[in-house]
Amino acid sequence: MGFKEEIEKRKTFAIISHPDAGKTTLTENLLLFGGAIREAGVVKGRKTGKFATSDWMKVEQERGISVTSSVMQFDFDGYKINILDTPGHEDFSEDTYRTLMAVDSAVMVIDAAEGIEPQTLKLFKVAKMRGIPVFTFINKLDRMGKEPFELLEEIEETLDIETYPMTWPVGMGPSFFGVINRRKREINPYREDEPLKFNEFYELETPHKIEEDVAYQTAMEEFMLVEEAGDQFDEEKIARGDLTPVFFGSALASFGIAEFLDTFVDFAPSPKANETKNGGIVEPTDKEFSGFIFKIQANMDPRHRDRIAFMRIVSGEFERGMDLTLQRTGKKSKISRATMFMADSTKTLDHAYAGDIIGLYDTGTYQIGDTLTSSKHIEYVDLPQFTPELFVKVSAKNVMKQKHFYKGIEQLVQEGAIQYYKTIHTNQPILGAVGQLQFEVFEHRMKNEYNTDVIMEPIGKKIARWIENEDVITDAMSTTRSTLVDDRYGNKVFLFENEFALRWFQDKYPVVKLYSLL
């Protein structure tokens, strides 16, 4: 197969949802349908010691949440599909934001009973901002939930996007019979093997007892209304992110997944072009290799102190042993160890193409946002950082473990989940985060991965502001209400007590130019 054909085969997407909508279960079933795993349902198997393929961290297994982004590849219908399973918890929205910069489309999972929830809305806005196609899977149809029309209306009004149901449910909860497959003109039954075929007038070709059921009659009336009055299918609108194909099913029961996958591979985009810092455009089919680091994860295998930098390949072909330049430092190095993620296993990589997500073994060389390339002329735009809102002072409980303490902080900060600061004169370490759960995960990982108990002293919410013109800063400006600290790069940052303290400072020192991150 040729170079361009290999790239066309790649479909790379992220799954976004509110916690508990069924995102991890859907991920697992996609892997099952792609033949990457042999057994689904391990999300529910916590008592048996089996856990969701994409929930590898112990704190995730214990609490049943996803707090990291996992990457998995599988084959389906001749395509190479890369799934990025994003954190479901809102405290890790920064990680999800960066993940969405590394994909070409997104799948939005919605709980049929809950509809659009706050975290779904936040993540959808990021996908919308990037202009990437969004496919919608409405989950848990085997339980009672909102009516299909109500769900579609909620999606359209809340998210400002048109909908096109690719399937339509027949019944719900105890009366759930299956879904009408719009493309194939058939009903895929929930508990029967053979689909029920329609003729051109949407009458069943072979009589079936379901025709006497009220749920079936209601579903057919609704479906015909969708056919006549609903939004038209428009491939260009899907590509722009202005129309979302909608699927109904039950991830836990592995139902509705095949219908989704069949449509997804037909209409999800192959790898797209990326913009560089100087405004240039790099096409995936460009021969020069390039990619960017969007995630760093330490200790994925507790038996080995490994550290993986996740790279999205933007252009060209990766070959093991190739020389790549890290643009931030200008240093060239041979990439002799790279890995591909195949469900719950990894394999050493010899070749990969634009659109693939690969793991580079890292000894502390890489940072989030780094560009690696075989050309000296390509450097991609920086990935965004969020301004943290919560802050804690942190120290090692055992002073004899300072070495482990600082090594753990350094590695976990480089992953991007928490931010590191220190006071100007005393060098007191301070951590900043978007949400409280990030501190809990930090404490858990310091204990379990670096054998270090930590003491965390909350100092509450602060308003962090960076300084454009640091040369005008004096020690007198640092007070209890406007604490001056250094960030991990040595930049000066003010931590203001509240909005009043920020306004007071700006009035007193108008010469100081402050700014925030995202």
Query: Binding site residues for GTP, as ranges?
Result: 17-24, 85-89, 139-142
Output the six-digit token pair for 142: 């085997």
Distance, CA of 71 to CA of 89 (rounded, Å): 17
Quickly list DSSP for 417-476. Answer: SSEEEEETTT--EEEEESSHHHHHHHHHHHHHHS---EEEEEEEE-EEEEES-GGG--GG
Output the six-digit token pair for 444: 């858990």
| CA angle centred on 164, ends 161 and 168, rounded to 5° | 130
Alpha-helical runs (H) found in 105-166: 118-130, 148-159
| CA angle centred on 384, ends 57 and 405, rounded to 5° | 45
Residues at the binding site are 17-24, 85-89, 139-142
Per the DSSP assignment, residues forming a β-bridge with 325 are: 332, 373
Strands annotated E in 105-242: 105-111, 134-139, 162-165, 167-170, 178-181, 186-189, 196-197
| Residue for token pair 């759930």 | 176
Residue 101 φ then ψ, to 5°: -80, -15
Q: Are 110 and 94 in contact (CB under 8 A)?
A: no
Pairing of β 105-111 and β 371-373: unpaired
User: How far from 474 is each of 290, 462, 483, 486, CA to CA, in Å?
Assistant: 43, 20, 12, 14
